[in-house]
Amino acid sequence: MSFDRLAQALAQPGQPEVALKAIQNACQELIGHKLFTILILDHARGLNSRFYTSHPAEYPVGGFKPIDPTREFYEIVVNQGEPRYLRDRETIIRTFPDHPAILGLGCESGVNMPVRWNGRTLGSLNLLHEAGYYGPQHRPVLNVLAGLSIAPFLSIIESQIA
Is the pLDDT confidence value at 162 over 80? no
Arithmetic mean of pLDDT over the chain: 95
For 72-102, what is each residue's pLDDT tens digit?
999 999 999 999 999 999 999 999 989 999 9
Q: Rounded to an integer, what distance in angstroms lies between the CA atom of residue 72 and that of residue 61? A: 22
Q: Which amino acid is at 51?
A: F
The alpha helices in 61-149, defined as continuous H runs, are: 72-73, 89-95, 99-104, 139-148
Q: Output the pLDDT for position 1.
A: 61
Q: Output the pLDDT for position 82.
A: 98
Segment 2-8 mean pLDDT: 92
Q: Which residues contact residue 133 at a Cβ distance below 8 angstroms, ignoring those fewer than 6 apart?
A: 32, 109
Q: Output the pLDDT for position 18.
A: 97
Domains of the chain with CATH codes: 2-161 (3.30.450.40)
pLDDT band at 106 (very low <50, low <70, confident <90, very high): very high
> What's the burial of 104, exposed, middle or buried (CB within 10 Å: 0-12/13-18/19+)?
exposed
pTM above 0.85, yes or no: yes
Q: Output the pLDDT for position 80.
A: 97
pLDDT band at 6 (very low <50, low <70, confident <90, very high): very high
For 24-68, what is each residue's pLDDT tens digit?
999 999 999 999 999 999 998 899 999 999 999 999 998 788 898
pLDDT band at 2 (very low <50, low <70, confident <90, very high): confident
